[in-house]
A and B are shown apart, each in its own frame.
Chain A
Amino acid sequence: QVQLVESGGGVVQPGTSRRLSCKASGFTFRTHAMHWVRQAPGKGLEWLAVISYDGEHKYYADAATGRFTISRDNSKNILYLQINSLRLEDTAVYSCAKTMTPAKKTFDLWGQGTLVTVSS
Protein backbone atom coordinates (compact mmCIF):
# COMPACT_ATOMS: atom_id res chain seq x y z
CA GLN A 1 0.00 0.00 0.00
CA VAL A 2 0.98 3.63 -0.39
CA GLN A 3 3.22 4.74 2.43
CA LEU A 4 5.10 7.90 3.33
CA VAL A 5 7.50 7.76 6.26
CA GLU A 6 9.21 10.90 7.48
CA SER A 7 12.38 10.97 9.53
CA GLY A 8 15.07 13.36 10.63
CA GLY A 9 13.26 15.22 13.35
CA GLY A 10 14.55 15.74 16.86
CA VAL A 11 15.55 18.41 19.33
CA VAL A 12 17.78 20.99 17.65
CA GLN A 13 19.35 24.26 18.72
CA PRO A 14 18.37 27.60 17.23
CA GLY A 15 20.56 28.60 14.31
CA THR A 16 21.43 25.07 13.29
CA SER A 17 20.31 23.14 10.21
CA ARG A 18 18.35 19.95 9.75
CA ARG A 19 17.50 17.76 6.80
CA LEU A 20 14.23 15.90 6.91
CA SER A 21 13.50 12.87 4.76
CA CYS A 22 10.34 11.27 3.46
CA LYS A 23 10.62 7.71 2.17
CA ALA A 24 7.88 6.81 -0.28
CA SER A 25 6.62 3.38 -1.25
CA GLY A 26 3.61 1.77 -2.87
CA PHE A 27 3.32 4.18 -5.79
CA THR A 28 5.43 5.45 -8.66
CA PHE A 29 7.25 8.18 -6.78
CA ARG A 30 9.09 9.56 -9.81
CA THR A 31 5.81 10.55 -11.51
CA HIS A 32 4.27 12.49 -8.62
CA ALA A 33 4.86 16.01 -7.39
CA MET A 34 5.45 16.05 -3.64
CA HIS A 35 4.69 18.53 -0.87
CA TRP A 36 5.89 19.43 2.61
CA VAL A 37 3.46 20.74 5.21
CA ARG A 38 4.01 21.50 8.88
CA GLN A 39 1.87 21.86 11.96
CA ALA A 40 3.08 23.61 15.08
CA PRO A 41 1.86 22.15 18.38
CA GLY A 42 -1.79 23.00 18.86
CA LYS A 43 -1.88 25.04 15.65
CA GLY A 44 -3.19 24.66 12.13
CA LEU A 45 -1.66 23.27 8.99
CA GLU A 46 0.88 25.35 7.11
CA TRP A 47 1.84 24.48 3.55
CA LEU A 48 5.58 24.89 2.93
CA ALA A 49 6.71 23.72 -0.48
CA VAL A 50 6.12 21.58 -3.55
CA ILE A 51 8.53 19.96 -5.98
CA SER A 52 7.65 18.70 -9.43
CA TYR A 53 7.97 15.04 -10.31
CA ASP A 54 11.38 15.57 -11.89
CA GLY A 55 12.69 18.07 -9.37
CA GLU A 56 12.89 20.83 -11.96
CA HIS A 57 10.25 23.08 -10.45
CA LYS A 58 10.01 24.11 -6.83
CA TYR A 59 7.64 26.52 -5.16
CA TYR A 60 7.71 27.79 -1.61
CA ALA A 61 5.39 29.54 0.79
CA ASP A 62 6.59 33.00 1.73
CA ALA A 63 7.39 31.70 5.21
CA ALA A 64 9.62 29.01 3.73
CA THR A 65 11.43 31.08 1.14
CA GLY A 66 15.11 31.50 1.84
CA ARG A 67 15.74 29.02 4.66
CA PHE A 68 13.94 25.95 3.31
CA THR A 69 14.99 23.82 0.35
CA ILE A 70 12.91 20.99 -1.06
CA SER A 71 14.58 18.30 -3.12
CA ARG A 72 14.12 14.70 -4.15
CA ASP A 73 16.04 11.61 -5.18
CA ASN A 74 13.88 9.60 -7.53
CA SER A 75 16.39 6.76 -7.61
CA LYS A 76 15.83 6.24 -3.88
CA ASN A 77 12.16 7.30 -3.65
CA ILE A 78 13.06 9.94 -1.07
CA LEU A 79 11.87 13.51 -0.64
CA TYR A 80 13.93 15.95 1.40
CA LEU A 81 13.44 19.22 3.22
CA GLN A 82 16.52 21.13 4.28
CA ILE A 83 15.88 23.75 6.93
CA ASN A 84 18.64 26.23 7.75
CA SER A 85 19.00 28.76 10.56
CA LEU A 86 16.33 27.04 12.60
CA ARG A 87 14.16 29.28 14.78
CA LEU A 88 12.03 28.57 17.81
CA GLU A 89 8.94 29.10 15.66
CA ASP A 90 10.00 26.27 13.36
CA THR A 91 9.01 23.81 16.08
CA ALA A 92 6.40 21.63 14.39
CA VAL A 93 5.50 18.26 12.99
CA TYR A 94 6.73 18.20 9.39
CA SER A 95 4.82 15.97 7.00
CA CYS A 96 5.21 15.08 3.38
CA ALA A 97 2.26 14.52 1.07
CA LYS A 98 1.88 13.12 -2.43
CA THR A 99 -0.26 14.43 -5.24
CA MET A 100 -3.30 12.31 -6.04
CA THR A 101 -2.14 11.36 -9.51
CA PRO A 102 0.60 12.63 -11.82
CA ALA A 103 -1.97 14.85 -13.49
CA LYS A 104 -3.62 16.18 -10.35
CA LYS A 105 -2.41 19.16 -8.37
CA THR A 106 -4.17 18.20 -5.15
CA PHE A 107 -2.27 16.25 -2.52
CA ASP A 108 -4.02 13.37 -0.83
CA LEU A 109 -1.99 11.00 1.28
CA TRP A 110 0.21 12.28 4.09
CA GLY A 111 2.83 10.65 6.25
CA GLN A 112 2.58 10.68 10.05
CA GLY A 113 5.19 13.39 10.23
CA THR A 114 8.44 13.97 12.07
CA LEU A 115 8.65 16.35 15.01
CA VAL A 116 11.27 19.06 14.99
CA THR A 117 11.70 20.82 18.32
CA VAL A 118 13.86 23.92 18.27
CA SER A 119 15.10 24.64 21.75
CA SER A 120 18.19 26.00 23.42
Chain B
Amino acid sequence: QPALTQPASVSGSPGQSITISCTGSNSDVGGYDYVAWFQQYPGKAPKLMIYDVTERPSGVSSRFSASKSDNTASLTISGLQAEDEADYYCTSYTTSSTWVFGGGTKLTVL
Protein backbone atom coordinates (compact mmCIF):
# COMPACT_ATOMS: atom_id res chain seq x y z
CA GLN B 1 0.00 0.00 0.00
CA PRO B 2 1.40 3.40 -0.90
CA ALA B 3 2.01 5.71 2.00
CA LEU B 4 -0.22 8.64 2.69
CA THR B 5 1.24 11.91 1.43
CA GLN B 6 2.48 14.46 3.92
CA PRO B 7 4.75 17.47 3.37
CA ALA B 8 8.31 16.60 4.33
CA SER B 9 8.65 19.70 6.46
CA VAL B 10 6.75 22.68 7.81
CA SER B 11 7.88 25.54 9.97
CA GLY B 12 6.43 28.34 12.00
CA SER B 13 7.31 30.91 14.60
CA PRO B 14 6.26 30.69 18.24
CA GLY B 15 2.65 31.72 18.64
CA GLN B 16 1.73 31.06 15.04
CA SER B 17 -0.46 28.27 13.71
CA ILE B 18 0.61 25.61 11.26
CA THR B 19 -1.29 22.92 9.41
CA ILE B 20 0.03 19.58 8.22
CA SER B 21 -1.88 17.82 5.49
CA CYS B 22 -2.23 14.10 4.92
CA THR B 23 -3.59 12.97 1.58
CA GLY B 24 -4.79 9.49 0.84
CA SER B 25 -7.57 7.94 -1.18
CA ASN B 26 -11.13 6.68 -0.96
CA SER B 27 -9.64 3.41 0.28
CA ASP B 28 -8.21 4.92 3.41
CA VAL B 29 -8.53 8.54 4.59
CA GLY B 30 -11.64 9.21 2.55
CA GLY B 31 -13.31 5.95 3.38
CA TYR B 32 -13.14 5.83 7.17
CA ASP B 33 -13.17 8.11 10.18
CA TYR B 34 -10.14 6.28 11.54
CA VAL B 35 -7.40 8.81 10.99
CA ALA B 36 -4.86 9.36 13.74
CA TRP B 37 -1.89 11.64 14.24
CA PHE B 38 1.28 10.83 16.16
CA GLN B 39 4.02 13.08 17.46
CA GLN B 40 7.53 11.66 17.67
CA TYR B 41 10.66 13.12 19.22
CA PRO B 42 14.03 11.71 18.12
CA GLY B 43 14.73 8.38 19.73
CA LYS B 44 11.34 8.28 21.42
CA ALA B 45 8.17 6.27 20.92
CA PRO B 46 5.41 8.04 19.00
CA LYS B 47 2.68 9.71 21.05
CA LEU B 48 -0.96 9.68 19.97
CA MET B 49 -2.20 13.24 19.51
CA ILE B 50 -5.44 12.78 17.56
CA TYR B 51 -7.64 9.75 16.89
CA ASP B 52 -10.87 9.17 14.97
CA VAL B 53 -10.07 12.21 12.78
CA THR B 54 -10.79 14.91 15.37
CA GLU B 55 -10.62 13.44 18.87
CA ARG B 56 -7.92 14.37 21.36
CA PRO B 57 -6.79 11.82 23.93
CA SER B 58 -6.84 12.92 27.53
CA GLY B 59 -3.80 15.01 28.33
CA VAL B 60 -3.15 16.30 24.82
CA SER B 61 -3.15 20.08 24.56
CA SER B 62 -6.19 21.76 23.02
CA ARG B 63 -3.72 23.57 20.78
CA PHE B 64 -3.82 20.43 18.67
CA SER B 65 -6.84 20.02 16.43
CA ALA B 66 -7.61 18.08 13.29
CA SER B 67 -10.12 17.67 10.53
CA LYS B 68 -10.80 15.82 7.32
CA SER B 69 -12.19 16.74 3.95
CA ASP B 70 -12.64 14.08 1.30
CA ASN B 71 -9.34 12.23 1.03
CA THR B 72 -7.25 14.74 2.97
CA ALA B 73 -6.84 14.95 6.71
CA SER B 74 -5.21 17.90 8.42
CA LEU B 75 -3.53 18.54 11.74
CA THR B 76 -3.42 22.09 13.04
CA ILE B 77 -1.21 23.26 15.87
CA SER B 78 -2.09 26.68 17.18
CA GLY B 79 -0.03 28.89 19.47
CA LEU B 80 3.12 27.13 18.33
CA GLN B 81 5.62 26.39 21.08
CA ALA B 82 9.24 25.28 20.99
CA GLU B 83 8.25 21.93 22.49
CA ASP B 84 6.08 21.22 19.44
CA GLU B 85 9.18 20.76 17.31
CA ALA B 86 9.02 17.07 16.37
CA ASP B 87 8.06 14.69 13.60
CA TYR B 88 4.37 14.19 12.94
CA TYR B 89 2.82 11.16 11.29
CA CYS B 90 -0.71 10.58 10.10
CA THR B 91 -2.14 7.11 9.79
CA SER B 92 -5.40 5.72 8.47
CA TYR B 93 -7.34 2.52 8.51
CA THR B 94 -7.83 1.01 5.05
CA THR B 95 -10.29 -1.13 3.15
CA SER B 96 -7.92 -4.07 3.55
CA SER B 97 -8.37 -3.91 7.35
CA THR B 98 -4.80 -2.69 7.51
CA TRP B 99 -3.27 0.65 8.44
CA VAL B 100 -1.03 2.93 6.45
CA PHE B 101 1.21 5.77 7.59
CA GLY B 102 2.13 9.01 5.96
CA GLY B 103 5.77 9.66 5.24
CA GLY B 104 6.05 12.02 8.19
CA THR B 105 6.45 15.78 8.53
CA LYS B 106 9.27 17.48 10.37
CA LEU B 107 7.99 20.52 12.22
CA THR B 108 10.54 23.23 12.91
CA VAL B 109 9.74 26.02 15.33
CA LEU B 110 11.75 29.01 14.18
Residues on A facing B (Cβ under 8 Å):
35, 37, 44-47, 50, 57, 59-62, 95, 100, 104-113
- Chain A residues with CB below 8 A from B51, complex form: 100, 104, 106, 108
Decide if B34 touches A106 in the complex (CB within 8 Å).
yes
Chain B residues lying within 8 Å of A95, measured Cβ to Cβ, are 45
Determine chain A's interface SS by DSSP, over half rule. strand
Alpha-carbon distance between A109 and B91 when the two chains are bound, in angstroms? 14
Residue contact B98 to A61, C-beta cutoff 8 Å? yes
**Segment at the A interface, from B13-21, B77-85, B100-108:** B100-108
Query: Which B residue sits closest to A43, measured CB to CB?
Result: B104
Collect the chain B residues with CB atoms within 8 Å of residue A109's CB: 48
- Whether A59 pairs with B97 at a CB distance below 8 angstroms is yes
- What's the minimum C-beta distance from B19 to chain A, rounded to whole angstroms? 19
Q: How far is the CB of A111 from chain B (nearest CB, A)?
A: 7
How far, in whole Å, are A64 and B104 apart by their CA atoms in the complex? 20
Q: How far is the CB of A49 from chain B (nearest CB, A)?
A: 8
* B89 x A60 contact (CB < 8 A): no
- The residue that B89 contacts in the complex, of A44, A104, A105, with Cβ under 8 A, is A44
Interface size class of B (residues with CB under 8 A): 20 to 34
- Shortest Cβ gap from B37 to chain A (Å): 10
Residues of A contacting B101 with CB < 8 Å? 37, 44-47
Q: Which residues in chain B, 66-110, are within 8 Å of chain A measured between CB atoms? A: 87, 89, 91, 93, 96-104
21 CB-based A-B contacts, threshold 8 Å = A44-B89, A44-B103, A44-B104, A45-B38, A45-B89, A45-B91, A45-B104, A59-B96, A59-B97, A60-B98, A61-B99, A61-B100, A100-B48, A105-B93, A106-B36, A106-B48, A106-B51, A108-B48, A108-B57, A110-B45, A112-B45
Given the interface pairs A46-B101, A47-B99, the reply to whether A62 lies near B36 with Cβ below 8 Å is: no
CB distance from A110 to the nearest CB of B (A): 4
Residues of B within 8 A of A57 (CB): 97
Which residues of chain B (1-20) have a CB below 8 Å from chain A? 1, 3
